[in-house]
Structure 1
Amino acid sequence: MAIEKKTIRLLILEDSQNEAERLVSLFRNAGRATRVHRITSSDELAEVLQQSWDLLICAPSSEHLEPSEAITAIRRQSKDIPVIQLVADNDSDAITEALMLGARDALPQGEDERLILVANRELASLEERRARRTAEVALREAEKRCQLLLDSSVDAITYVHDGMHIYANRAYLKLFDYEDGEELEGMPMIDLIAGEDQARFKDFLKNYASGESAAELGCSGVRADGQRFQVRMSFSPATYDGEPCIQVVIRAENDNAELEEKLREISSQDLVTGLFNRPYFLELMDTAAQRAVSGTQIASLAYIRLDRYGEIAADLGLAGIDLLLTDLANLLREHFPSEVQLARFADDVFTALLPGQSPQQCEEQLGGLLKKVEGHLFDINGRTAQTTLSIGVAGLSEQTSKAQEVVDRAHRCADELEGNAIKVFNPADELAAAANRGNLTAMVQQALENNSFRLLFQPIISLRGDSDEHYEVLLRLLNPQGEEVPPGDFLSAAKEAGLAEKIDRWVILNSIKLLAEHRSKGHNTRLFVHLSGGSLQDQTLLPWLSVALKAARLPSDALVFQIGEPDAVAYLKQAKALTQGLAGLHCKVALSQFGCALNPFNTLKHLHVDFVKIDGSFSQDLSNAENQEALKTLLASLHAQAKLTIVPFVESASVLATLWQAGVNYIQGHYLQGPSQSMDYDFSAGEE
């Protein structure tokens, strides 16, 4: 799923322009794109509050507008803009005062890392609040549609709160022979139940409210004229007008009631074991997830897999394995209390839904099950069989919106076991688990979080006696098994997930750091760093880059930013603006993969480019005279425009004479040196 890249709309109350710019660069260095406005007066604040903003950062004080006034103005307008108040010292009174005024947090000025962490927390919280408000609107719309469906339903439906009717649809009124809903409002539902069934109905409601009862009840109903009839009621939790209540659906009993009940039972059962089947258990999981999200009741799912199932099935045969499964199902029934819902989930898998328990709380009970099964001798038609279990456990909590995710987590935990063991899902392992499963996006996210990408350097060597040191920076990613992931694969996944710009910034920052260290040893080195299509469109890149280069005390021309021709063609307007901006910063620009567009020189007209790297296809099979001519023609046109040319993929000495005659400025390839983790090529070796 692609992650939407969100620009933060940031307000800053700070008299110093330099300090405001420093704060903005903090966010940009942290990979957050920002649109910023600095407030200089109360009138200006009133004006900007007409727009939508994500965060306000207040300096300890301001001559133009006191932070307390800004916070008050936001509260007065009922704007949901989190405020972070900076304080001059770690003054607990000032912090408390800011929090009492309505700031979301207050912290000492200058604690930059903490500021970013707090800001990220508040921005995430703001997104949650906005999502909740959107969900509330959607819920109201859904409730309106639901009300229309209720009114027109052929089933008799009522909503009951504390045993009293609060709503009844037309079918319900007709069933009990009432003219108007107002006649039933405030009337206890028990009044519509026959006297001999009232005590049973009362007990049922009490047990249902505590979650200990089934969801169906059969009893006698009483119409307004006193006539009795048999009904079957289905109960489910609901809300009506924002109030928690019980929805009751009533169907009049008929001659086929027993048959219907039997069919319902069969449709929810596994035919071999008599436990619930997979579809019905997933419905139970959905209901449990709803209870967990609403805070009513947590639960845990145990994913119980038989070890060596294939081997045992081959040994016992189909009839024998069915007997073993039936015996195991009975063992599960005996082991777990009655409120635990059990299912046969797959051929070799049972599941148990344990209400009211966290995964940690049910570990002991599941450990007892492991021992019980390990020591149990299964009698299969006079033969003895033994087996063990692998149990994965995951919890349903207020953060569990999808039951299927819980099943997947418990399943993964069981799959990771060698046998006869329990593994409880750890939320912190989610990213690592996804990476282990080969999810490229997860691997990229993990590499960004753990700083675990690798940078390699491949020399770009002059054919014209230029002694400057040039290297192209190449990014590599290792999978959890330690194998290199093809760059095209993980970069494509990163692009889809909206992470390409983050990767670019990671590469730039780490290249700058390594280059500054390398140049301090007396090397006059330049690095070619690739920019993705996403970075071409990122308007915050140039100001961020300016700050990063100054901080590293590097000359701007130490970096050559390389843009691929396909990206330049696709985003020509943005590429033009970026190359002009880079020229303004005195950075060099290279256009790579050149020569494959329909009109490559048209692209060059619009871009401020210093180097042009020919597409690798032009340096293949240069023994062919036609290919040589095509390359020479392309190079001659580029040299006429005073562009420095680079030919990559030089794999043998045989092409060097051709390239030299064609006037190529620089070459790159495995013949000279492949990508290496260090910048150690001897550039003086080739000088005559």
Structure 2
Amino acid sequence: MAIERKTIRLLILEDSQNEAERLVSLFRNAGHATRVHRLTSSEDLAEILQQTWDLLICAPHSEQLEPSEAITAIRRQAKDLPVLQLVEGNDSESITEALLIGAQDAVPQGEDERLVLVAKRELANLEERRARRAAEVALREAEKRCQLLLESSVDAITYVHDGMHIYANRAYLELFKYEDGDELEGMPMIDLIASADQGTFKDFLKNYQSAEGNAELACQGMRADGGCFPAQMSFSPATYDGEPCIQVVIRAKTSNAELEEKLREISSQDLVTGLFNRTHFLELMDAAAERAVNAGQPATLAYVRVDRYAGLQAEIGLAGVDLLLTDLAGLLRAHFAAEVQLARFGDDVFTALLPGQTPEACEPSLAVLLKKVEGHLFDISGRTAQTTLSIGVAGLSEKTAKAQDVIDRAHRCADELAQGNAVKLFNPADELAAAASRGNLLAIVQQALETNSFRLLFQPIISLRGDSHEHYEVLLRLLNAQGEEVPPADFLAAAKEAGLGEKIDRWVILNSIKLLADHRAKGHNTRLFVHLSSASLQDQTLLPWLSVALKAARLPSDSLVFQFSEPDAIAYLKQAKALTQGLAELHCKAALSQFGCALNPFNTLKHLHLDFVKIDGSFSQDLGNAENQEALKTLLGSLHAQAKLTIVPFVESASVLATLWQAGVNFIQGYYLQGPSQSMDYDFSAGDE
């Protein structure tokens, strides 16, 4: 069961190997996969900074390289590498000094839990900075494309700041009969308005500065040659060269302007209720999210669902339901203040966007609305109908960049009101639960165990040295109720937290044995690599149970290879040692995965009886780099000297095959060869021809 985790690339400045190992184990025990390098000199630091690292942890002092020197070197190279300085005792002077020389934080030595929490915060900040830099690059590209679109637009477009032109496109210059944009730059826009309309334009612009959203104005434009023409101007907030300004789009006014306005109004309306439709409301939500993030203006979304909608349809018919919805829309209009934007969002759903209000502030008013609707008698062509509402509420704040997230939250809250006639506010604490999906995932995992509905996939592990066995790694997959694949890292973490790791491992072993017995009966000389979790490493009943299971299936013991990860082996070395000895006695094979990330990985090997070692995926990345090739070759050379069969995963292209062959790798695995498949159907003979 391969779990995809982001590996933390960790530098440690610490003279003591044992203390460095202890620091690494803190991160491993906290569930972080780590790739570590211990710094030994300033030359070592200069060389290692050629690569990308995520975090540097410095001991209070080091004989080999002073922390202040290391921090200075990092700053000199302008590396975005957060530094955590450990200090002796909780001495405020030492902490201040560490911050002054450029450390992101200082943590008293020995406060392990605090160190992990601070590191987690700095790593999250680093991710945010990296994401921001990527977004800035994307923004520059988007701005370039926008500039090209502006230049080629048939509409006359200008950008105005403090009433002055700062940019005008070709169509704008042609409309006003100017030859060059330089003529307009710095010219007040009011100079292009006929004198009779200048007062109106000035008042409009003055009031617009404090308004928000789009607005329109009809007036007479004045060309450079003194001629006038009727123009319809659309104003909207924009930025140009990073400065806030107003975008003005001008269309020469035609006799159809009134008709166009009517069509625009209709396109944003729901035909039954006269409220905004879903498409237009989504635009309003996007604008509100932008205001919340950029201007700190909060807003609240109420997701209002009509209870018993299907039952109402059956009782009063489609035409009757339309009448009820129209009546209900009138009720909503009367209840909410004028600035609240209302829409019919779906067949049985209305939405209300309440600007400037938090969800808590809206709750009393929404409770009043519930009572009004519950007590209202809807007159449907002479007969009476009644209904109630379920209202989910979520807020827009500076943290909600995506309007869709807010809609989903309010929707979920409405869904949770099974009895109806109630209001539920979104609780941010629920978001954490939803993000981790702990409760739901756990239910899915338990159901999968009960109903046998996990899926096994098989990915071939291919020999580069002519091994006659056919090898596959067994991968566990889980689908949710919608038929979508749940990320293995998520459901395995949930299972581990609930103590179900060992139960899942046994399910995988039993089903792998069953499928392998069927496959070998067809004449295939196949071995399966089956992953064991940390729970199974600690399970003393596993070996006797395994012995019985293998005998019952009449499988040769060496047809199964039990694989566990280096971080788990380090955390439970004593148990892993006993397990590999026991597997050898059963004649089963053992493999260690994610190898090579510990400070001294070969120290772990000394204690374990292993047949295969799978190198950590980070070693097979960027093998075009000579330094990375050398690191991999050195690691493989040491493993081959100990007679270990080596596997390199994540082989994604043909270009690395020659390098891997020269390095003496025994087996390779990856999407270039074949991704995980539901059947063991790889043609192992193809490579021998």
Give the corresponding residue for 1:117: 117
- 1:492 maps to which of 465, 473, 477: 477
CA contact under 8 A between 2:84 and 2:103: conserved in structure 1?
A: yes
Report whether the alignment pairs 1:586 with 2:553. Answer: no
Q: CA deviation at 1:87?
A: 1.1
In structure 1, C-alpha distance between the alignment counterparts of 2:68 and 2:90, rounded to whole Å: 18
The answer to whether the 8 Å contact 1:98/1:106 transfers is yes
Q: 1:497 to 1:257 in 2, by over 3 A?
A: farther
Q: Distance in 1 between matches of 2:15 and 2:247?
A: 59
Task: Give distance in 1, aligned partners of 2:136 and 2:315.
Answer: 57
Partner of 1:478: 446
**Matched-pair contact (CA < 8 Å) for 1:443–1:479:** no
One-letter amino acid matched to 1:282: L
CA shift for structure 1 position 526: 8.8
Structure 2: gaps of 5 or more residues: 457-474, 479-484, 502-532, 551-560, 614-642, 647-689
Change (3 A) 1:537 1:153: farther
Offset of residue 82 of structure 1: 0.5
Distance apart, 1:312 and its partner CA: 2.5
Is the aligned partner of 1:389 residue 2:379? no
Cα deviation digits, residues 158-199 of structure 1 (max 9, x gap): 111222211110111111222221121122223323344344
Matches within 5 A, 1:21-420: 21-211=21-211, 214-417=214-417, 418-420=419-421
Match of 1:430 in 2: 431
1:88-120 CA distance string (max 9 Å, x none)? 111122112212322111111112222122112
What is the aligned partner in structure 1 of residue 652 from structure 2?
A: none
- The yes-or-no answer on 1:558 pairing with 2:562 is no
Q: Which has the higher contact order (CA 8 A, sep 6+)?
A: 2
TM-score norm. by structure 1 comes to 0.70
Q: Residues 85 and 98 of structure 2 are in contact (CA less than 8 Å); yes or no, is this contact kept in structure 1?
A: yes
Shift of 1:207: 4.2
In the TM superposition, residue 276 of structure 1 has moved relative to its aligned partner by 0.8
Cα pair 1:164 1:189 within 8 Å, conserved: yes
Q: Which moved more, 1:113-122 or 1:37-46?
A: 37-46
Mapping 1:498-517, distance limit 5 Å: 498=489, 507=501, 508-512=533-537, 515=540
Distance 1:235 1:560, change over 3 A: farther
Change (3 A) 1:54 1:537: farther
Is residue 572 of structure 2 the alignment partner of residue 549 of structure 1? yes
Could you tell me how far 1:428 is from its partner in structure 2? Answer: 2.9
Q: Name which of structure 1's ranges 12-21 and 505-514 shifts more when overlaid on structure 2.
A: 505-514
Shift in Å at residue 13 of structure 1? 0.9
Local SS of the residue matching 2:6: coil
Identity %: 66
- Per-residue deviation at 1:239? 1.5
CA drift at 1:213: 6.2
Cα separation, partners in 2 of 1:270 and 1:497, compared to 1, 3 Å: same
Q: Is the 8 A contact 1:31 1:502 kept in 2?
A: no
CA RMSD of aligned residues (A): 4.1
Structure-2 change in CA distance of 1:80 and 1:349 (3 Å): same
Q: Residue 483 and residue 209 in structure 1: after superposition, are their counterparts in 2 closer, same or farther (change >3 A)?
A: farther
CA distance in 2, matches of 1:524, 1:396: 55
Give how far 1:499 is off. 5.2
Change (3 A) 1:258 1:122: same
Who is 1:465 aligned against? Answer: none
| TM-fit CA distance, 1:154 | 0.8
Deviation at 1:273, TM superposition (A): 0.9
Q: Deviations over 1:6-59 (max 9, x none)?
A: 222211111111111111122222232222221222233233223221100011
Q: Distance in 2 between matches of 1:302 and 1:3?
A: 39
2:305–2:414 CA contact under 8 A, matched in 1? yes
- What CA distance in whole angstroms lies between the structure 1 residues aligned with 2:575 and 2:276? 68
Equivalent position amino acid for 1:421 in 2? A
Contact 1:293–1:400 at 8 Å: present in 2 too? yes
Please give the secondary structure, in 1, of the residue aligned with 2:342.
strand
Which protein shows a greater Rg? 1
The 8 Å contact of residues 526 and 557 in structure 1, kept in 2 or not, is answered as no
Letter in 1 for 2:99: L
Task: Give the Cα–Cα distance (whole angstroms) in 2 for the partners of residues 329 and 3 of structure 1.
Answer: 50
* Equivalence map 1:592-671=2 (5 Å): none
Which residue pairs with 1:630 in the alignment? Answer: none
User: Secondary structure of the residue that 1:585 maps to in structure 2?
Assistant: coil
Per the normalisation by structure 2, the TM-score is 0.70
Aligned residues: 540
SS across alignment from 1:352: strand
- Following TM superposition, by how much is the alpha carbon of 1:584 offset from its aligned partner in structure 2, in angstroms? 4.3
1:155 deviation in Å? Answer: 0.7
* Mapped partners of 1:177, 1:259: distance in 2: 28
Contact 1:527 1:559 in 2 (8 A): no
